[in-house]
Amino acid sequence: MDPIRNPYAPGAGTPPPELSGRDELRERVHIAIERIRLGRASKSVLIIGLRGVGKTVLLDHMRLRAERDGHYSVRIEAPEERSLPGILAPQLRQALIKLSRFEKAKDLSHRALRALAGFAKLKVKYNDLEVGLDFEPEPGLADNGDLESDLQDLLVAVGEAARAADSTFILFIDELQYVPEDQLAHLISALHKTAQLSLPVTLVGAGLPQLTGQMGKAKSYAERLFDFPFVGALTPEQARDALAIPAAAEGVDFEPAAIDYIVSETQGYPYFLQEWGKHAWDIATNSPITLADCREATISAVAALDASFFRVRFDRLTPLEKRYLRAMAQLGPGPHRSGDIAETLGRTSQSLAPTRAKLIEKGMVWSPSHGDTAFTVPLFEQFMQRIMPNLEC
Ligand SMILES: Nc1ncnc2c1ncn2[C@@H]1O[C@H](COP(=O)(O)OP(=O)(O)OP(=O)(O)O)[C@@H](O)[C@H]1O
Ligand SMILES: [Mg+2]
């Protein structure tokens, strides 16, 4: 069918034509943000999930809604090897300038910008911190040169400005698992401080499953301050909606068997649903899209995933890391005992501990419980078997 009208949207952070199955979580975050606006207690929310389940698109949706509702926000992604102050400061500046246009919040926004000017002193420690200065720093305000106290001062100043505008200031931070532990700890204590003062500042974050443990390790009280909703594969019904609703909007149907087939091939994982939908649409010549169309789509959808979604991750691995993942794949979808993986490679778990640690750091695997290792990318074991037909290559 007409590829120009193809509604499906596989890609990193690409908004789906139908954001299926996430209404409850969106509502929960909306309620939290509105409660915080009123100075009522509500935990910050960290969305946890594997690769490709839709964390980024959820953050974007939530942000759009919050901004529409009159809140202020920053939207950042924690990349590997950048510091939190480095990515936070420029975005914060922009948001504060916007907030300062609101007459009631003008003075306090300017004060927050002064705090940001003091915060810029941290450049000595975090040399990727670059921020245009609009005001002179105020002596004693966020200018200690110590991230813990300066971030607290800064977020308190931001919270006071947001309160003056009757709004909530929201930090939307994606890929939070890449923030180093000490910086994460300082972020948690700054949020703790604003919560204690009932200031309207909150974090809506997203990250891989290892984030839950990292937060607890960074600050033992983190679990009292945050909710960790898990997003995963869609239920069969939600997955059917994700496929059928966008097609129906274009006047196109699926045969019931065709849709069931895609739901089962993709196991309901959002990224895969978009990829299969896109290929099935392009292959089909008319409505309804048939089971035969969808079977054919499997071949091109898998090829597309291998070339993008899976491949970008694979290319960042050392030869030994690849062999480690291949050994995991040998054992099945997982999780697997570290000892079993080592045995498959003819090694000891101790000698492979650094490799495993590196894979966790890169966000390729995580540890669901002590001594267990699981992939963070759904269906990665099948990809590993395709790309490395045996353990030796
Ligand atoms: N609820 C949903 N229903 C249907 N499709 C979805 C849904 N959520 C996300 N998608 C689609 O899944 C794909 C992946 O989404 P997204 O990039 O947000 O995932 P992610 O969890 O952030 O992945 P990663 O961990 O790799 O960053 C996109 O193509 C998006 O359109
Ligand atoms: Mg993402």
Q: Give one DSSP letter per residue of 142-159, joined into a string.
A: S-SS-HHHHHHHHHHHHH
The residues facing 203 across adjacent strands are 171
pLDDT of residue 52: 94
pTM of the model as a whole: 0.94
Those residues with Cβ within 8 angstroms of residue 188's Cβ, 6 or more apart along the chain or in another chain: 215, 218, 219, 221, 222, 225
Helix (H/G/I), strand (E/B), else coil: 227: strand
Task: Give residue 125's identity as a one-letter amino acid code.
Answer: K
Quote the strand ranges of 125-278, DSSP E: 169-174, 201-207, 226-227
Structure tokens belonging to residue 60: 């974007």
pLDDT of residue 223: 87
pLDDT of residue 393: 58
Query: What's the chain's Rg over C-alpha atoms?
Result: 23
Integer angstrom CA distances of residue 292 from 43, 261, 263, 289, 393: 48, 10, 15, 8, 35
For residue 15, which ligand has an atom nearest its CA? 1
How many CB atoms are closer than 10 A to CB 10?
22
Helix (H/G/I), strand (E/B), else coil: 169: strand
Atom of ligand 1 nearest to the CA of 57: 18
Alpha-carbon distance of 220 to 218, in angstroms, equals 7
Residue with tokens 């390729």: 364
Those residues with Cβ within 8 angstroms of residue 100's Cβ, 6 or more apart along the chain or in another chain: 106, 109, 110, 113, 161
The residues facing 72 across adjacent strands are 169
Residue nearest to atom 23 of ligand 1 (CA): 52
pLDDT tens for the chain, 393 residues long, are: 999 999 999 999 999 999 999 999 999 999 999 999 999 999 999 999 999 999 999 999 999 999 999 999 999 999 778 899 999 999 999 999 999 999 999 999 999 999 999 998 888 888 888 888 888 899 999 998 899 999 999 999 999 999 999 999 999 999 999 999 999 999 999 999 999 999 999 999 999 999 999 999 999 999 899 999 999 999 999 999 999 999 999 999 999 999 999 999 999 999 999 999 999 999 999 999 999 999 999 999 999 999 999 999 999 999 999 999 999 999 999 899 999 999 999 999 999 999 999 999 898 999 999 999 999 998 999 999 999 998 875
Alpha-carbon distance of 298 to 294, in angstroms, equals 6
Alpha-carbon distance of 104 to 113, in angstroms, equals 16
Integer angstrom CA distances of residue 112 from 115, 138, 283, 374: 5, 10, 55, 43
Integer angstrom CA distances of residue 33 from 40, 68, 101, 175: 10, 13, 22, 21
Residue nearest to atom 16 of ligand 1 (CA): 54
Residue list, ligand 1 pocket, CB within 6 Å: 9-16, 19-22, 49, 51-57, 242, 270-271, 273-274
Residue nearest to atom 31 of ligand 1 (CA): 16
Phi/psi of residue 118, nearest 5 degrees? -65, -40
